[in-house]
Structure 1
Amino acid sequence: MSSEHAHHLENPGATTPPPKLDLVSSVPAPPAPDNAEAMTILVTLPPGSAGNPPHRHTGPAFGYLIRGEMIFELEGEPQRVIKAGEAFWEPGGDVIHYQDGNNLPDAETEFVVTMFGVAGQPMLIPVSAEELEERRDRRAPRP
């Protein structure tokens, strides 16, 4: 994340300090589908929730963890824990999203995600057990 994303407009008539803007995440040229529809959703995972089963999205998704901890795993990448204040993204399309579960057994996890999907298509597309088996070699080794 570079300083070229820092934005501030001079406001000579202001009587209060300017807004503070911090870049949380940046992805150059993300792959947005044609006829994209942007949607922003707030997700609350109950304590210990496994989250959604393996799925994919029709386009990229950009998220920010508000509170808690999420186990996050995309095809070809090792699983990782995302903590409050951290951002995440996924390219969507053919990439399988294996995990988005709550890493905390005794507290909720909450995140906001903006997705750019194909208009009229479901936000989550489940992946069959057969396809998971066919693509087993694309999943990073499990801890």
Structure 2
Amino acid sequence: MGIEHSHHLDNPDATTPPPKVELVSSVPAPPVPDNAEAMTILVTVPPGSEGSPPHRHTGPAFGYVIRGEMIFELEGEPQRVVRAGETFWEPGGDVIHYQDGNNLPDAETVFVITMFGVAGQPMLIPVSAEELQERRERRAPRP
């Protein structure tokens, strides 16, 4: 996020303070599939839920945790906890998304995610147990 972004325009006719706009995340533009469809989804993960099974997406996804804590793990990266007010992203395509579970045993975790996927394709594509076994060396060591 080294580039400074300007998100405020002076309004000489304003009678109230301007909006407060903060850049919370920025990534270089990932490849977006041809015939892409953008969708924004609100996800509520029950207390202690493991979340979705390992899957992939047809295009990139950008998310923001509104409330709670999510355990997030992508192929080749160590799992990490993403807390309320923090962001996550994944490139989609061939990369396996291993975890998006709730890190809290007694509270919901809520996040919003914007995905750029192939129109008409499912937003979550399950990964088989056989493929997980074949690609096991690509998964980062787990705690």
Calculate the TM-score normalised by the size of structure 1: 0.98
**Paired residues, number:** 143
- 1:119 is matched with which residue? 119
1:3 deviates by 5.1
Counterpart contact for 1:6–1:23, Cα < 8 Å: no
Counterpart contact for 1:6–1:21, Cα < 8 Å: no
1:53-132 equivalence runs, <5 A: 53-132=53-132
Among all aligned residue pairs of Structure 1 and Structure 2, give the percentage whose two residues are the same amino acid.
Answer: 87
**Secondary structure, aligned partner of 2:98:** strand
**Secondary structure, aligned partner of 2:4:** helix
1:130 deviates by 0.2
Q: Distance in 1 between matches of 2:76 and 2:22?
A: 30
Consecutive unaligned residues of structure 2, counting only runs of 5 or more, are none
The CA RMSD over aligned residues, in Å, is 0.8
Q: Distance in 1 between matches of 2:75 and 2:126?
A: 14
Corresponding position: 1:36 with 2:36: yes
**Secondary structure, aligned partner of 2:39:** strand
State the one-letter code of the partner of 2:128: S
State the one-letter code of the partner of 1:101: G
**Secondary structure, aligned partner of 1:4:** coil
Further displaced range: 1-10 or 30-39: 1-10
State the one-letter code of the partner of 1:24: V
